[in-house]
């Protein structure tokens, strides 16, 4: 039977999604009917935030009653199959009347959570992992994150790559991500951080607010970012404050976070920049003959795992030729007779 308390379709608040996730976890514990199973699948597919909310609900209860399962998640071992691909009545073990108690229990942090956890993705791999406090991190290809939680602070070090954080609300324990000399501080929000060699550290906020600053000067000249905003931190801090933040349109935000779905989005990027981004996902390397062709701007949405398909599509739009040499896909200016 459909529960009228569940959020209606449309843009939901994070709180309403969390409430719906709690209802679903209770239903899963007692078992779903066929119609409820279909309804759950429809709910999960309706908004990408719902998957994270359900994962957080699982993590909260596991934190209180099944800490051993979370300990296995926060390692370099391959993650379990994603929750949204294998949901049945055994997937989420949370009692209908125990959610409030589990939230209280989550405030008591087991000693093993104080030890740093290291998460690594291989080339071409994208992982989504609960962090043990109700937060969830999604790691892009070829990324490394180290997490260290205490009773006073939740610290994340983005060693390299790109990560998207869905942060569980806990004002008493700020959630701080460090990347190079940049610090990103949040309480309860959703945002990504990029730390790729050759590019400035970049922060994109999709929900809530964060404060972006320098590790060398905590709290000084922090930049406040709200939802639908981005900031890029120059490697060398300028002598005078600069405006490093800019708003993002809904399309800009979607493009900036498209990697979570295994897609690469370009809007005016040069062909050389696009080829470099494809290189992070493995497969044949895209090489470009000619500086003029490399500087050509491109736009579109492409599967990160299909550099050959990207090269063929670009060759058509830019009147170029493609030579597949096995480990290398070469783009060259069209040969004129």
Which CATH number covers residue 191? 2.60.120.1440
Q: What is the mean pLDDT of residues 130-150?
A: 93
Q: What would the two tokens of residue 331 be?
A: 């783009």
Residue 255 lies in a domain: no
Q: Which band of pLDDT confidence, cut at 50, 70 and 90, is reported for residue 13? A: confident
209 and 128 share one domain: yes
Q: Which band of pLDDT confidence, cut at 50, 70 and 90, is reported for residue 92? A: very low
If 0-12 CB within 10 Å is exposed, 13-18 middle and 19+ buried, where does residue 292 land?
A: exposed
Please say which residue of 248, 272, 294 terminates a domain.
248
241 and 117 share one domain: yes
121 and 77 share one domain: no
- Is pLDDT at 245 greater than 50 in this prediction? yes
- In angstroms, the CA 122 to CA 135 distance is 22
Per DSSP, helices labelled H in the chain are 14-30, 34-46, 48-65, 67-73, 99-105, 250-256, 271-279, 291-294, 307-318
119 and 229 share one domain: yes
Weakest-pLDDT range from 74-78, 167-171, 248-252: 74-78
Residue 273 lies in a domain: yes
- Is pLDDT at 57 greater than 80 in this prediction? no
Q: What is the mean pLDDT of residues 83-112?
A: 38
Please say which residue of 248, 276, 295 terminates a domain.
248
177: CB partners within 8 A, 6+ apart: 156, 157, 158, 163, 165, 183, 184, 186, 193
- 6: containing domain: 1-108
- Is pLDDT at 77 greater than 50 in this prediction? no
Here the CATH number for the domain that contains residue 320 is: 3.55.50.30
207 and 297 share one domain: no
Residue 92 lies in a domain: yes
212 and 269 share one domain: no
Q: What is the mean pLDDT of residues 196-224?
A: 87
Please say which residue of 93, 108, 123 terminates a domain.
108
- In angstroms, the CA 30 to CA 17 distance is 20
Strands 285-288 and 328-333: parallel
Q: Which band of pLDDT confidence, cut at 50, 70 and 90, is reported for residue 336? A: low
- In angstroms, the CA 337 to CA 334 distance is 10
- Is pLDDT at 103 greater than 50 in this prediction? no
- Percentages helix, strand, coil for the chain (3-state, rounded to 5) are 30, 30, 40
CA-derived radius of gyration, the chain: 22
Weakest-pLDDT range from 37-51, 244-258, 308-322: 37-51
Q: Which band of pLDDT confidence, cut at 50, 70 and 90, is reported for residue 59? A: low
Q: What is the mean pLDDT of residues 2-17?
A: 59
User: By percentage, how much of the chain surpasses pLDDT 70?
Assistant: 74
77 and 198 share one domain: no
122 and 85 share one domain: no
Residue 306 lies in a domain: yes
- Give the chain's domain count: 3
Q: What is the mean pLDDT of the chain?
A: 78
3-state secondary structure of 240: coil
The closest of 92, 78, 73, 74 to 126, measured between CA atoms, is: 78
Higher per-residue confidence, 161 vs 243? 161
5 and 81 share one domain: yes
pTM of the predicted model as reported, rounded to 2 decimal places: 0.65
Q: What is the pLDDT of residue 54?
A: 78
pLDDT in tens, 290-329: 999 999 999 999 999 999 999 999 999 999 999 998 899 9
- Is pLDDT at 254 greater than 90 in this prediction? yes
- Is pLDDT at 226 greater than 90 in this prediction? yes
175 and 282 share one domain: no
- Is pLDDT at 90 greater than 70 in this prediction? no
292 and 320 share one domain: yes
- Is pLDDT at 192 greater than 90 in this prediction? yes
Q: What is the pLDDT of residue 205?
A: 96
Residue 253 lies in a domain: no
Higher per-residue confidence, 122 vs 64? 122
- Is pLDDT at 258 greater than 60 in this prediction? yes
Residue 256 lies in a domain: no
Residue 7 lies in a domain: yes
Place of tokens 């609960």: 130
Q: What is the pLDDT of residue 235?
A: 74
Backbone angles phi, psi at 131, to 5 degrees: -95, -5
Residue 257 lies in a domain: no
- Is pLDDT at 48 greater than 60 in this prediction? yes
Q: Which band of pLDDT confidence, cut at 50, 70 and 90, is reported for residue 79? A: very low
Place of tokens 């209908």: 96
222 and 188 share one domain: yes
């Amino acid at each position: 039977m459909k529960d009228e308390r569940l959020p209606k379709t449309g843009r939901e608040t994070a709180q309403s999604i969390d409430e719906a996730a709690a209802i679903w976890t209770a239903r899963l514990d007692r078992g779903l009917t066929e119609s409820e199973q279909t309804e759950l699948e429809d709910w999960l597919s309706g908004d990408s935030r719902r998957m994270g909310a359900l994962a957080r609900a699982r993590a909260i209860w596991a934190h209180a009653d099944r800490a051993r399962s979370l300990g296995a998640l926060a390692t370099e071992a391959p993650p379990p199959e994603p929750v949204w691909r294998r949901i049945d009545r055994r997937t989420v073990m949370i009692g209908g009347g125990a959610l409030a108690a589990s939230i209280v229990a989550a405030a008591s942090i087991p000693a093993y959570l104080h030890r740093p956890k290291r998460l690594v993705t291989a080339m071409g791999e994208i992982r989504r992992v609960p962090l043990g406090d109700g937060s969830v991190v999604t790691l892009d290809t070829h990324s490394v994150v180290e997490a260290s939680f205490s009773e006073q602070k939740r610290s994340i070090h983005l060693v390299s790559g790109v990560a998207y954080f869905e942060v569980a609300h806990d004002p008493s324990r700020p959630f701080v991500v460090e990347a190079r000399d940049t610090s990103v501080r949040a309480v309860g929000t959703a945002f990504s951080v990029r730390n790729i060699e050759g590019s400035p550290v970049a922060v994109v906020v999709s929900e809530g607010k964060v404060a972006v600053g320098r590790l060398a000067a905590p709290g000084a000249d922090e930049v406040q970012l709200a939802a639908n905003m981005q900031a890029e931190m120059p490697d060398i801090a300028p002598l005078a404050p600069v405006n490093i933040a800019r708003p993002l349109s809904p399309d800009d935000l979607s493009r900036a976070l498209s990697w979570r779905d295994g897609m690469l989005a370009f809007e005016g990027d040069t062909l050389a920049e696009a080829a470099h981004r494809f290189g992070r996902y493995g497969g044949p390397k895209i090489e470009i003959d000619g500086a003029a062709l490399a500087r050509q701007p491109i736009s579109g949405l492409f599967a990160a795992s299909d550099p050959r398909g990207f090269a063929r599509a670009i060759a058509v739009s830019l009147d170029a030729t493609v030579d597949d040499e096995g480990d290398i896909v070469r783009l060259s200016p069209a040969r004129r007779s």
